[in-house]
Amino acid sequence: MPVGNMSPSGTSFSGAAEYDLAQGKYRRENKSKKPEILSQNLISSSYYKDIGRDFRELALENKRCKKPVFKFSISFDPKENLSDDEKLNFTKLVMLEMGITDDHQHMITRHSDKAHDHHHIIANRVGLDGKVINDSFAINRLETSCDKIEKQLGFSNSLSSKRRFVYDESSDKGYTFQSDNVSSKKPSVNPRDKKKNIQDNKEFILRELEQALSVAKSLNDLFLILQQNKINADFRFNKANKLTGISFDYNNFSVKGSALGSKFKSANIEKQLLLNSNLISLDSLSSLEKEMQKEVSENLSTDLTIENTENHNTLPKETEFLYKSILEDLIEIDKIINTKI
């Protein structure tokens, strides 16, 4: 009687892989989880960042799909004494029921940190043909799929009476809804808890954004760094392809950059990225500008003395060329300084 657990469709492939493989910030859990990759399709790496990059490249083929990460897990009852091959076969058959075919990137990882084995599945909703797996009512479909494959393979089906959705081949829909297993009461939410969650999410985004902006050199860098912490950055551009707005989404909480402070307005974020992309610092630029201005002043004073002494009406050509060169450099430095935050 395997049990499926569905996660909401997400945006961070690397974050999902980081958890499943117990790497990166989850590396301390590696010994307890003992992650083992059981199967991979259209993926060539076992490192979460590379895996995330592979998934993302294909997902970008359909930019209309905003949340391409398809993720769920399946837990197995140790009392059934299923072999590893039987468990893996069950998982793959459920994946097919969920729409995950050989045209979709996917990875199956096993964890052994609990009394029962459980498989974690990451799949790309975007297929090789650009079509997207439907994630509507995914938890209901997963429950029906587990029930169907249990019956098909002859596994214990003892949970069938407790499920909301069970497979029913006699039904036109392919399932039966068991309303008696649905709670009519909605859990109450304490307004204080809700307010605290919002504040916690906002502070987390702010903290991670600060750190990301200290190293990112482009909007793409910023997007990828934030996604590693399951924060989705949404950029808005006008017809001239100029960035006009930016917002951040984390844990079902969304906030505009401007709401986090003037430093995080789209224009100021662009300026910070430009600053990071320059190899020379603001202090160095200012210092260099002062030195060059001093050089112009000293040389000009010397050349004017020569001019008065020799009664020339114009500066020597060599000096004039030097001034033009230095002034052009000063103009470029001013442009860079004036674009900084």
Give me the percent of the chain exceeding a pLDDT of 90: 45
The letter for the amino acid at 133 is I
Q: Could you report the per-residue pLDDT of 11-58, keeping only the tens digit for each?
A: 999 999 999 999 999 999 999 889 999 999 999 899 999 999 999 999
The reply to whether 186 falls in a domain is no
The reply to whether 297 falls in a domain is yes
Give me the percent of the chain exceeding a pLDDT of 70: 79
pLDDT above 90 for 119:
yes
Q: What is d(CA 268, CA 334) in angstroms, rounded to the nearest whole number? A: 18
Same domain, 270 and 144: no
The reply to whether 320 falls in a domain is yes
Same domain, 113 and 8: yes
Reading the block at residue 187, the tokens are: 């859990």
Same domain, 101 and 145: yes
Using CB atoms within 10 Å of the CB of residue 28, give its burial: 0 to 12 exposed, 13 to 18 middle, 19+ buried.
Answer: exposed
Please provide residue 14's backbone torsions phi and psi, each rounded to the nearest 5 degrees: -65, -35
pLDDT above 50 for 288:
no
For residue 327, give every residue at least 6 positions away whose Cβ sits within 8 Å of its Cβ, in sequence order, or none: 296
Q: Please, which pLDDT band fits residue 59 given cuts at 50, 70 and 90?
A: very high
Is the separation of the CB atoms in 74 and 142 below 8 Å? no
- Give the pLDDT of residue 327: 59
Reading the block at residue 45, the tokens are: 């790496």
The letter for the amino acid at 14 is S
The residue among 157, 181, 205 that closes a domain is 181
For residue 59, give every residue at least 6 positions away whose Cβ sits within 8 Å of its Cβ, in sequence order, or none: 13, 65, 68, 124, 125, 126
Quick one: CA dihedral 162, 165, 168, 169, positive or negative? negative
Q: Could you report the per-residue pLDDT of 125-163, keeping only the tens digit for each?
A: 999 999 999 999 999 999 999 999 999 999 988 888 888
Structural domain tally of the chain? 3
What is the residue range of 43's domain?
Answer: 3-181
For 185-238, give the DSSP string.
Answer: PPPP--HHHHHHHHHHHHHHHHHHHHHHHTT--SHHHHHHHHHTTT-EEEEEE-
pLDDT above 80 for 286:
no
Instruction: List the strands of the sheet with 69-75, edge to edge.
Output: 3-6, 69-75, 118-124, 106-111, 36-41
Same domain, 298 and 333: yes
Q: Long-range contact list for 180-187, CB < 8 A, 24+ apart?
A: none
Same domain, 267 and 313: no
